[in-house]
A and B are shown apart, each in its own frame.
Chain A
Amino acid sequence: MSTKTILADQQKTGSGGFSWGLALSAVSGLLMLAALYMALVGAPDAVNLTSPAERAAQRIFYFHVPAAWIGFLAFIVAAGASLMYLITRRQRWDMWALASVEIGVVFFAMVMLSGPIWAKPTWNVWWTWDPRLTISTISWLLYLGYLMLRGAIDNPDRQARFGAVYALIAAISVPINWVAIRWWRTIHPAVVLPGNNSAAQGEFGMSADIRNTLLFCLFAFTVFYIMLMYHRINLENLKRRVDTLRQQILYR
């Protein structure tokens, strides 16, 4: 493919998106504010919690669970895009994978920071080497490693190829993390499905109000993820355009 064709393609992908990006950002911002209102004001107190600190901290759940969901989603999208890259060798898929991993790492950082803040009033410890917490930490470090690996390779083709293989291998941590609370004895609550481990401490059922608030927050976070993906992919496109222009000027 000639440099002119690459530049035209990058121009096409990168332009004309401003109004869509703005609209998506506005909708996402409003949904996040609505989610915040529902989580802090709209949702009722959890009745099975005794202390006021526990009841207040339980509301972290409405952002903690959706952030974890986006982390999982982002890593699965990255694995899918990486597979598509290895099959087609199209740069677009590599951009999707990189954007998704970066966003996933950011959301997992939220999970890793908010978890201990919720754990302290509930479990009376900031951290415990529970299977779910340990696997989440490993998963987060694995994807930080993905970003570091890409940063350490100069050749763009090798960067994309190595990144794709790495993202596919790292994605194994997602299903393991998902089932960790059912496979091993854990104090982490099973939120989405009833756990097989009925003896797990902290497991709770949800009232309709709590469930609806959680579902709304999951929706708001998913739109937030789509909005961030849109902007991050545009950014990557711009970065690659800069690289192509540099090469065009240098090797003329």
Chain B
Amino acid sequence: MGSLSYLAAGYAVFWIVSFVFIYSLVSRQRSLQKEVEMLEHLAAEEADRQG
């Protein structure tokens, strides 16, 4: 490996791991947000039905 290859590989590790983690946070947040909206809608419908 060339003299800069180790440096590039070392920094790639930090940025790739960080981006993967942030992406996982965002995607989990989106899916939970959708689920909350759906469940709130269901709960409201159920409450209306029960009067």
Contact = CB atoms under 8 A, between A and B. Distances in A.
B51 interface: no
Contacts of A246: 39
Contacts of A231: 25, 29
Contacts, number: 89
Interface in B11-33: 11, 13-14, 17-18, 21-22, 25, 28-29, 32-33
Interface string A33-51: 0001000100000000001
B36 A238 contact: yes
Interface residues of B, number: 28
B11 A245 contact: no
A113 B13 contact: yes
A60 B10 contact: yes
B43 A118 contact: no
Contacts of A59: 7, 10
Give the bracket for the number of chain A residues in contact with chain B.
Answer: 35 or more
Nearest to A239: B32
Interface string A90-118: 00000000000001001001100110011
B25 to A, nearest CB: 5
A63 interface: yes
Interface of B is mostly: helix
Interface of A: 36, 40, 51-53, 55-57, 59-60, 63-64, 67, 103, 106, 109-110, 113-114, 117-118, 120-121, 224, 228, 231-232, 234-235, 238-239, 241-242, 245-246, 248-249, 252
30 contacts: A40-B11, A52-B3, A53-B6, A56-B4, A56-B7, A57-B6, A57-B7, A57-B10, A60-B6, A60-B7, A60-B11, A63-B14, A67-B14, A103-B21, A106-B18, A106-B21, A110-B13, A110-B17, A120-B6, A121-B1, A228-B21, A228-B22, A235-B25, A235-B32, A238-B29, A238-B36, A239-B32, A242-B35, A246-B39, A249-B39
